[in-house]
């Protein structure tokens, strides 16, 4: 059974020394660290590596909760996955541990996870309400859902044709107008 630490800083020039010192003091056998990786990114190489390595009875230790999850929902998904797989979790600065035998675990930790869960559900519900309200307002104003259709009148289509007439290749046109090669070919296929 291993105790694995996870540290993360968002910017390349940020320092992880404080996190590393506290994770080492907590007795972590190995520390995985994502350096210069935003917490909003879905894929974080070292976090993914640690999650793949975890087994029943292992413990994940972080300096603070926000180092682990992208948002409340992601954090909760991770904690649920840990519980399902029999993996313990501890956040040093937040005073949360899911191991009931830990000095900071037990009923209070479970209550904190429940509160986090409630806020995650609230966050999902509010997002859903705002989306539905926005769609209803757009429909009432006569706007349709989805991406707007690009026609031959579009500025980028016009520019693509101009550049083609000058003898530029589609790959170069794409770089200039900020579009993929496939999009450039689609634009050039439109009659002006």
Q: Which residues are catalytic?
A: 10
Contacts of 37 (CB under 8 A, 6+ apart): 8, 9, 10, 44, 45
Residue 151 backbone class (left: φ over 0; alpha: ψ -120 to 50; beta: rest): beta
Of the candidates 60, 104, 65, the residue with the CA atom closest to the CA atom of residue 83: 60
Beta strands (DSSP E) in 52-149 are 59-62, 88-91, 96-97
Label the pairing between strands 88-91 and 96-97. Answer: antiparallel
Provide the residue count of the chain.
192
Cβ atoms of 51 and 80 closer than 8 Å: no
- What is the Rg, in whole angstroms, of the alpha carbon atoms belonging to the chain? 25
């Amino acid at each position: 059974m291993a105790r694995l630490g996870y540290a993360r800083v968002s910017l390349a020039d940020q320092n992880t020394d404080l996190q590393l010192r506290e994770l080492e003091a907590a007795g972590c056998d190995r520390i995985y660290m994502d350096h210069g990786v935003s917490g909003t990114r879905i894929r974080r190489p070292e976090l993914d590596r640690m999650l793949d390595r975890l087994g029943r009875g292992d413990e994940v230790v972080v300096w603070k909760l926000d180092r682990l999850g992208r948002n409340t929902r992601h954090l909760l998904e991770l904690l649920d996955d840990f519980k399902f797989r029999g993996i313990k979790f501890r956040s040093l600065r937040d005073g949360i541990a899911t191991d009931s035998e830990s000095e900071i675990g037990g009923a209070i930790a479970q209550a904190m996870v429940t509160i986090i869960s409630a806020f995650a559900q609230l966050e999902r519900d509010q997002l859903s309400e705002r989306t539905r309200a926005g769609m209803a307002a757009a429909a009432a104003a006569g706007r349709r859902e989805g991406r707007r259709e690009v026609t031959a009148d579009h500025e980028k289509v016009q520019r693509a044709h101009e550049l083609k007439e000058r003898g530029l290749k589609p790959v170069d046109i794409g770089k200039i107008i900020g579009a993929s090669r496939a999009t450039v070919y689609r634009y050039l296929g439109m009659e002006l």
